[in-house]
Protein backbone atom coordinates (compact mmCIF):
# COMPACT_ATOMS: atom_id res chain seq x y z
CA UNK A 1 0.00 0.00 0.00
CA UNK A 2 1.54 3.31 -1.11
CA UNK A 3 2.32 6.12 1.27
CA UNK A 4 0.13 8.48 -0.78
CA UNK A 5 -2.90 6.27 -0.23
CA UNK A 6 -2.10 6.01 3.49
CA UNK A 7 -1.92 9.79 3.74
CA UNK A 8 -5.19 10.21 1.83
CA UNK A 9 -6.87 7.60 4.00
CA UNK A 10 -5.68 9.38 7.14
CA UNK A 11 -7.13 12.69 5.93
CA UNK A 12 -10.42 11.00 5.02
CA UNK A 13 -10.66 9.53 8.51
CA UNK A 14 -9.97 12.96 10.01
CA UNK A 15 -12.45 14.73 7.73
CA UNK A 16 -15.52 14.44 10.01
CA UNK A 17 -13.51 15.87 12.92
CA UNK A 18 -12.19 18.71 10.77
CA UNK A 19 -15.71 19.57 9.60
CA UNK A 20 -16.96 19.66 13.19
CA UNK A 21 -13.99 21.82 14.31
CA UNK A 22 -14.57 24.28 11.47
CA UNK A 23 -18.27 24.50 12.31
CA UNK A 24 -17.78 24.81 16.08
CA UNK A 25 -14.60 26.89 16.22
CA UNK A 26 -13.81 28.31 12.80
CA UNK A 27 -17.11 29.96 11.89
CA UNK A 28 -17.72 31.58 15.33
CA UNK A 29 -14.16 32.95 15.23
CA UNK A 30 -14.69 34.43 11.76
CA UNK A 31 -18.00 35.96 12.84
CA UNK A 32 -16.35 37.42 15.96
CA UNK A 33 -13.67 39.04 13.82
CA UNK A 34 -16.37 40.54 11.59
CA UNK A 35 -18.35 41.74 14.59
CA UNK A 36 -15.30 43.42 16.15
CA UNK A 37 -15.16 45.93 13.27
CA UNK A 38 -18.77 47.04 13.74
CA UNK A 39 -20.77 49.03 16.29
CA UNK A 40 -23.30 46.22 16.78
CA UNK A 41 -25.21 46.46 20.04
CA UNK A 42 -26.46 42.90 20.27
CA UNK A 43 -24.82 39.61 19.35
CA UNK A 44 -26.31 38.42 16.06
CA UNK A 45 -27.08 41.90 14.69
CA UNK A 46 -25.28 43.57 11.82
CA UNK A 47 -24.13 47.01 12.93
CA UNK A 48 -22.21 49.60 10.94
CA UNK A 49 -18.56 49.24 9.95
CA UNK A 50 -16.33 51.33 12.24
CA UNK A 51 -12.88 49.99 11.33
CA UNK A 52 -10.47 49.66 14.24
CA UNK A 53 -12.31 52.15 16.47
CA UNK A 54 -13.37 49.39 18.87
CA UNK A 55 -9.77 48.26 19.31
CA UNK A 56 -8.44 51.79 19.79
CA UNK A 57 -11.10 52.70 22.36
CA UNK A 58 -10.75 49.42 24.22
CA UNK A 59 -6.95 49.34 24.42
CA UNK A 60 -6.81 52.98 25.56
CA UNK A 61 -9.59 52.67 28.15
CA UNK A 62 -8.85 52.57 31.86
CA UNK A 63 -11.27 49.65 32.25
CA UNK A 64 -9.13 47.47 29.98
CA UNK A 65 -5.92 48.47 31.73
CA UNK A 66 -7.31 47.76 35.19
CA UNK A 67 -8.75 44.43 34.01
CA UNK A 68 -5.42 43.48 32.43
CA UNK A 69 -3.61 44.28 35.67
CA UNK A 70 -6.13 42.28 37.74
CA UNK A 71 -5.87 39.33 35.34
CA UNK A 72 -2.08 39.37 35.36
CA UNK A 73 -1.91 39.66 39.15
CA UNK A 74 -4.39 36.81 39.61
CA UNK A 75 -2.57 34.56 37.13
CA UNK A 76 0.95 35.21 38.42
CA UNK A 77 0.21 34.90 42.13
CA UNK A 78 -2.21 31.96 41.90
CA UNK A 79 -0.03 29.92 39.53
CA UNK A 80 3.13 30.60 41.55
CA UNK A 81 1.39 29.51 44.76
CA UNK A 82 -0.06 26.42 43.10
CA UNK A 83 3.34 25.38 41.76
CA UNK A 84 5.03 25.73 45.17
CA UNK A 85 2.24 24.05 47.15
CA UNK A 86 1.83 21.34 44.53
CA UNK A 87 5.53 20.42 44.56
CA UNK A 88 5.61 20.38 48.37
CA UNK A 89 2.53 18.15 48.45
CA UNK A 90 4.10 15.81 45.88
CA UNK A 91 7.31 15.54 47.90
CA UNK A 92 5.27 14.69 50.99
CA UNK A 93 3.14 12.09 49.20
CA UNK A 94 6.26 10.51 47.72
CA UNK A 95 7.42 9.50 51.19
CA UNK A 96 6.55 6.23 52.87
CA UNK A 97 4.07 6.66 55.74
CA UNK A 98 0.89 5.10 57.05
CA UNK A 99 -2.23 6.31 55.27
CA UNK A 100 -0.42 7.62 52.20
CA UNK A 101 -2.84 5.95 49.78
CA UNK A 102 -5.84 7.51 51.54
CA UNK A 103 -4.22 10.95 51.50
CA UNK A 104 -3.45 10.63 47.79
CA UNK A 105 -7.08 9.77 47.11
CA UNK A 106 -8.34 12.69 49.18
CA UNK A 107 -6.00 15.11 47.43
CA UNK A 108 -7.86 14.78 44.15
CA UNK A 109 -11.19 15.90 45.64
CA UNK A 110 -10.65 19.69 45.36
CA UNK A 111 -9.61 19.38 41.71
CA UNK A 112 -12.48 16.98 40.95
CA UNK A 113 -15.10 19.37 42.31
CA UNK A 114 -16.86 21.50 39.67
CA UNK A 115 -15.62 25.07 39.75
CA UNK A 116 -19.08 26.45 40.54
CA UNK A 117 -19.37 24.12 43.54
CA UNK A 118 -15.89 25.12 44.70
CA UNK A 119 -16.71 28.83 44.35
CA UNK A 120 -19.99 28.45 46.25
CA UNK A 121 -18.19 26.55 49.01
CA UNK A 122 -15.65 29.35 49.43
CA UNK A 123 -18.38 32.01 49.35
CA UNK A 124 -19.89 30.29 52.37
CA UNK A 125 -16.50 30.13 54.09
CA UNK A 126 -15.95 33.86 53.49
CA UNK A 127 -19.51 34.84 54.43
CA UNK A 128 -19.37 38.00 56.61
CA UNK A 129 -22.20 36.85 58.90
CA UNK A 130 -21.75 33.11 59.47
CA UNK A 131 -18.60 32.19 57.53
CA UNK A 132 -16.25 29.57 58.95
CA UNK A 133 -13.16 31.74 58.38
CA UNK A 134 -14.49 34.65 60.45
CA UNK A 135 -15.62 32.27 63.17
CA UNK A 136 -12.24 30.51 63.37
CA UNK A 137 -10.17 33.72 63.35
CA UNK A 138 -12.42 35.31 65.97
CA UNK A 139 -12.24 32.33 68.30
CA UNK A 140 -8.44 32.21 68.24
CA UNK A 141 -8.21 35.96 68.80
CA UNK A 142 -6.88 37.10 65.42
CA UNK A 143 -10.06 39.10 64.65
CA UNK A 144 -12.12 41.34 66.90
CA UNK A 145 -15.15 41.32 64.61
CA UNK A 146 -16.32 39.61 61.44
CA UNK A 147 -15.05 40.95 58.09
CA UNK A 148 -16.51 40.90 54.61
CA UNK A 149 -13.60 39.24 52.83
CA UNK A 150 -15.26 39.38 49.42
CA UNK A 151 -16.77 42.83 50.02
CA UNK A 152 -13.52 44.73 50.56
CA UNK A 153 -11.29 45.66 47.59
CA UNK A 154 -8.17 45.03 49.66
CA UNK A 155 -9.01 41.41 50.46
CA UNK A 156 -11.31 40.23 47.66
CA UNK A 157 -8.58 39.33 45.16
CA UNK A 158 -6.53 37.51 47.80
CA UNK A 159 -9.62 35.53 48.82
CA UNK A 160 -10.18 34.54 45.19
CA UNK A 161 -6.56 33.47 44.78
CA UNK A 162 -6.79 31.25 47.88
CA UNK A 163 -9.95 29.60 46.52
CA UNK A 164 -8.35 29.06 43.11
CA UNK A 165 -5.17 27.60 44.66
CA UNK A 166 -7.18 25.16 46.76
CA UNK A 167 -9.01 24.03 43.64
CA UNK A 168 -6.02 23.60 41.31
CA UNK A 169 -2.88 22.78 43.30
CA UNK A 170 -3.75 19.02 43.28
CA UNK A 171 -3.24 19.01 39.50
CA UNK A 172 0.33 20.27 39.94
CA UNK A 173 0.85 17.86 42.82
CA UNK A 174 -0.13 14.79 40.80
CA UNK A 175 1.96 15.85 37.80
CA UNK A 176 4.97 16.34 40.09
CA UNK A 177 4.24 13.09 41.93
CA UNK A 178 4.21 11.15 38.67
CA UNK A 179 7.59 12.69 37.77
CA UNK A 180 9.00 11.79 41.18
CA UNK A 181 8.26 8.12 40.51
CA UNK A 182 10.79 8.30 37.66
CA UNK A 183 13.67 9.44 39.88
CA UNK A 184 16.07 6.46 40.22
CA UNK A 185 16.35 5.36 43.82
CA UNK A 186 20.03 4.53 43.45
CA UNK A 187 20.78 8.17 42.59
CA UNK A 188 18.96 9.48 45.65
CA UNK A 189 20.64 6.83 47.79
CA UNK A 190 24.04 7.82 46.40
CA UNK A 191 23.35 11.49 47.21
CA UNK A 192 22.56 10.52 50.80
CA UNK A 193 25.82 8.58 51.05
CA UNK A 194 27.69 11.59 49.68
CA UNK A 195 26.23 13.73 52.44
CA UNK A 196 23.93 15.90 50.34
CA UNK A 197 21.39 17.79 52.43
CA UNK A 198 17.67 17.98 51.64
CA UNK A 199 17.99 21.25 49.68
CA UNK A 200 20.95 20.14 47.56
CA UNK A 201 19.38 16.74 47.00
CA UNK A 202 16.22 18.41 45.71
CA UNK A 203 18.09 20.96 43.59
CA UNK A 204 20.64 18.72 41.91
CA UNK A 205 18.99 15.27 41.94
CA UNK A 206 15.21 15.65 41.96
CA UNK A 207 14.59 18.98 40.22
CA UNK A 208 16.07 17.94 36.84
CA UNK A 209 13.47 15.16 36.67
CA UNK A 210 10.70 17.59 37.62
CA UNK A 211 11.61 20.40 35.22
CA UNK A 212 9.82 19.07 32.13
CA UNK A 213 6.55 17.98 33.81
CA UNK A 214 6.42 21.15 35.89
CA UNK A 215 6.81 23.22 32.74
CA UNK A 216 3.78 21.45 31.29
CA UNK A 217 1.83 22.17 34.49
CA UNK A 218 2.96 25.78 34.33
CA UNK A 219 1.72 26.12 30.76
CA UNK A 220 -1.69 24.61 31.53
CA UNK A 221 -2.28 26.58 34.69
CA UNK A 222 -1.07 29.93 33.34
CA UNK A 223 -3.36 29.76 30.32
CA UNK A 224 -6.33 28.67 32.43
CA UNK A 225 -5.66 31.35 35.05
CA UNK A 226 -5.42 34.06 32.41
CA UNK A 227 -8.81 33.00 31.02
CA UNK A 228 -10.44 32.73 34.45
CA UNK A 229 -14.12 33.58 34.56
CA UNK A 230 -16.34 31.13 36.44
CA UNK A 231 -14.85 31.21 39.95
CA UNK A 232 -14.67 35.02 39.96
CA UNK A 233 -18.14 35.44 38.51
CA UNK A 234 -19.72 33.16 41.10
CA UNK A 235 -17.85 34.67 44.06
CA UNK A 236 -17.66 38.42 43.33
CA UNK A 237 -18.97 39.12 39.80
CA UNK A 238 -15.91 41.32 39.35
CA UNK A 239 -16.52 43.46 42.44
CA UNK A 240 -16.20 45.13 44.81
CA UNK A 241 -15.55 48.38 42.89
CA UNK A 242 -14.32 46.27 39.92
CA UNK A 243 -11.26 45.22 41.95
CA UNK A 244 -11.57 41.60 40.78
CA UNK A 245 -12.82 42.28 37.25
CA UNK A 246 -10.59 40.29 34.91
CA UNK A 247 -10.48 40.43 31.11
CA UNK A 248 -12.96 37.59 30.73
CA UNK A 249 -15.40 39.32 33.07
CA UNK A 250 -14.96 42.55 31.08
CA UNK A 251 -15.66 40.70 27.81
CA UNK A 252 -18.90 39.32 29.23
CA UNK A 253 -20.00 42.69 30.57
CA UNK A 254 -19.21 44.54 27.34
CA UNK A 255 -20.97 42.03 25.09
CA UNK A 256 -23.99 41.07 27.21
CA UNK A 257 -24.46 43.33 30.26
CA UNK A 258 -23.75 46.61 28.44
CA UNK A 259 -24.96 45.27 25.07
CA UNK A 260 -21.90 46.45 23.15
CA UNK A 261 -21.31 43.36 21.04
CA UNK A 262 -18.75 45.00 18.73
CA UNK A 263 -16.64 46.23 21.62
CA UNK A 264 -16.96 42.89 23.40
CA UNK A 265 -15.88 41.01 20.26
CA UNK A 266 -12.77 43.18 19.86
CA UNK A 267 -11.84 42.62 23.49
CA UNK A 268 -12.42 38.86 23.15
CA UNK A 269 -10.02 38.77 20.20
CA UNK A 270 -7.40 40.71 22.17
CA UNK A 271 -7.69 38.18 25.02
CA UNK A 272 -7.42 35.33 22.49
CA UNK A 273 -4.29 36.89 21.05
CA UNK A 274 -2.70 37.26 24.49
CA UNK A 275 -3.48 33.65 25.41
CA UNK A 276 -2.14 32.44 22.04
CA UNK A 277 1.13 34.31 22.59
CA UNK A 278 1.41 32.76 26.05
CA UNK A 279 0.72 29.29 24.67
CA UNK A 280 3.29 29.64 21.87
CA UNK A 281 5.90 31.07 24.23
CA UNK A 282 5.40 28.35 26.80
CA UNK A 283 5.40 25.73 24.05
CA UNK A 284 8.85 26.91 23.00
CA UNK A 285 10.02 26.71 26.61
CA UNK A 286 8.64 23.17 26.92
CA UNK A 287 10.48 22.03 23.79
CA UNK A 288 13.67 23.71 24.99
CA UNK A 289 13.36 22.07 28.40
CA UNK A 290 12.70 18.67 26.81
CA UNK A 291 15.68 19.12 24.48
CA UNK A 292 18.04 20.04 27.32
CA UNK A 293 16.80 17.07 29.37
CA UNK A 294 17.67 14.64 26.59
What secondary structure, in 3-state letters, does 12-66 show? HHHHHHHHHHHHHHHHHHHHHHHHHCECCCCCCCCCCECCCHHHHHHHHCHHHHH
Task: Tell me what pLDDT residue 212 has.
Answer: 83
Task: Tell me what pLDDT residue 291 has.
Answer: 61
What pLDDT digit, counting tens, does each position of 193-237 carry?
A: 666 777 777 777 788 888 888 888 988 898 899 989 999 999 999
Residue 99 Cα distances to 174, 179, 185, angstroms: 17, 21, 22
What pLDDT digit, counting tens, does each position of 263-286 carry?
A: 899 999 998 888 888 888 877 776
Q: Which fold has domain 47-290?
A: MetI-like fold (1.10.3720)
Task: Tell me what pLDDT residue 208 has.
Answer: 82
Task: Tell me what pLDDT residue 170 has.
Answer: 94
User: Is residue 246 very low, low, confident or very high in pLDDT (cuts 50, 70, 90)?
Assistant: very high
What percent of the chain lies above the pLDDT cut of 90? 39
**For residues 40-48, average pLDDT:** 73
User: Is residue 290 very low, low, confident or very high in pLDDT (cuts 50, 70, 90)?
Assistant: low
**For residues 141-149, average pLDDT:** 89
Please give the Cα distance from 149 to 132 (Å, whole number).
12
Q: Is the model's pLDDT at 44 over the cut of 70?
A: no
Asked if 228 and 248 touch (Cβ cutoff 8 Å), the reply is yes
Please give the Cα distance from 140 to 82 (Å, whole number).
27
**For residues 239-252, average pLDDT:** 93
Contacts of 106 (CB under 8 A, 6+ apart): none
Verdict on whether the full-model pTM lies above 0.75: yes
Asked if 218 and 83 touch (Cβ cutoff 8 Å), the reply is yes
Task: Tell me what pLDDT residue 45 has.
Answer: 66
When mean pLDDT is compared across 69-78, 95-104, 243-252, 274-283, the lowest value belongs to 274-283
Task: Tell me what pLDDT residue 285 has.
Answer: 75
User: Is residue 188 very low, low, confident or very high in pLDDT (cuts 50, 70, 90)?
Assistant: confident
When mean pLDDT is compared across 114-118, 154-158, 217-221, the lowest value belongs to 217-221
Backbone torsions φ then ψ of 13, nearest 5 degrees: -70, -30
**For residues 111-119, average pLDDT:** 92
DSSP for 203-268, please give it: IIIIHHHHHHHHHHHHHHHHHHHHT--HHHHHHTTT-STTTT--HHHHHHIIIIIS--HHHHHHHH
Please give the Cα distance from 204 to 208 (Å, whole number).
7
Beta partners for residue 49, in sequence order = 38
CA angle 123, 125, 127 (to 5 degrees): 65
Please give the Cα distance from 228 to 271 (Å, whole number).
11
Q: Is the model's pLDDT at 164 over the cut of 90?
A: yes
Q: Is the model's pLDDT at 294 over the cut of 90?
A: no
User: Is residue 47 very low, low, confident or very high in pLDDT (cuts 50, 70, 90)?
Assistant: confident
Cis previous bond, 240, omega within 30: yes
Q: Is the model's pLDDT at 165 over the cut of 90?
A: yes
**For residues 285-290, average pLDDT:** 68
Q: Is the model's pLDDT at 1 over the cut of 70?
A: no
Average pLDDT, the chain: 87
Q: Is the model's pLDDT at 293 over the cut of 60?
A: no
Amino acid sequence: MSSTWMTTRAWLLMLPLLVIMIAVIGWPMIDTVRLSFTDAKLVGTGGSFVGIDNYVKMLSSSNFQRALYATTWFAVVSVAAEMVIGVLAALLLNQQFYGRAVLRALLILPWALPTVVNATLWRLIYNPEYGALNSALTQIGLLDSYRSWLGEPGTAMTALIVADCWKNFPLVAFIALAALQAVPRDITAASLVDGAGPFNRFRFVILPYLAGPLMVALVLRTIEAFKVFDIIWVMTRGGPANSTRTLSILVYQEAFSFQRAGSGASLALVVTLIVTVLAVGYGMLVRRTAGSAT
